[in-house]
Structure 1
């Protein structure tokens, strides 16, 4: 049956490890091997935010204008309306399509 989940290391510097759970597989379709995003829940933390402790402080600081690091992190992030549950489906679709185009096997010309 194969693996039902795998680990994905995101942002090597901060060491975020995500577990991707395979909930359903589909039969192979001839001539179709592009990656497909079926669903998503939430967003990944911003890169270089400082691991889980930095991410917690980042969220607290953006949400609280009196937090000592609010202005600093707001300037770094440049968006006070950070919502970890908000997902931009169009941007994700474009990213997956770009990956699919880059991963396509190039046909070899026989000499």
Structure 2
């Protein structure tokens, strides 16, 4: 995801905060991306910093406009995200997008443009600056399923504890976010 930066290709750097809606305490990330990257690039960065696996459909919504991956089999008014630069959709600080990932689980995120920073050749892009808490596992069943999941893994006497741990296949700490790992994935 790391791209060589040139003054010709970048006008500014956008600092975003993405927050997963419906989860308390919140799961969020703050990251930098080139303003001239596409919405498709933004999708990939959100997937990496949040910890999703890009296994499901998604869309961005700003006002009445939807952006995503058009499907010839299902015509819609969705704009092709690969054909729109971020700075064509978000033009000033505090502009925001709604980002939905996995229409079955319905993970809704708010993506807020916090700062528009001057271009700097020393800044590695894309980069995650900070974050809080682990992203829910894929296919856990949206917010209600995640709440039940957390109850089950926290209580060894819960009737579904062993089954859920087996399904998960690894340990899960809802409070853990590994900033170094997110940045390592962004740079590869």
- Tell me the TM-score normalised to structure 1 length: 0.73
The structure 2 residue matched to 1:6, chosen from 85, 89, 97, is 97
- The runs of at least 4 aligned residues of structure 1 exceeding 4 Å deviation read 30-33
Matched, 1:61 2:123: no
Q: Partner residue of 1:28?
A: 119
Larger Rg: 1
Contact map agreement 2:140 2:146 (CA 8 A) in 1: yes
SS of match in other structure, 2:109: strand
Q: Say which of 177, 182, 186 aligns to 1:87.
A: 177
**Structure with higher RCO (Cα < 8 A, 6+ apart):** 2
Shift of 1:25: 2.5
Bigger share in strand: 2
1 CA distance for matches of 2:121 and 2:184?
23
Give the gaps of 5 or more residues in structure 2. Answer: 1-90
Q: Helix, strand or coil: the match of 1:24?
A: strand
CA RMSD for the aligned pairs?
2.3
Aligned length: 97
Q: Deviations over 1:59-109 (max 9, x none)?
A: 0000001111111100011234x22221112220122113xxxxxxxxxxx
Residue 38 of structure 1, aligned match among 121, 129, 133 = 129
Q: TM-score, normalised by structure 2?
A: 0.46
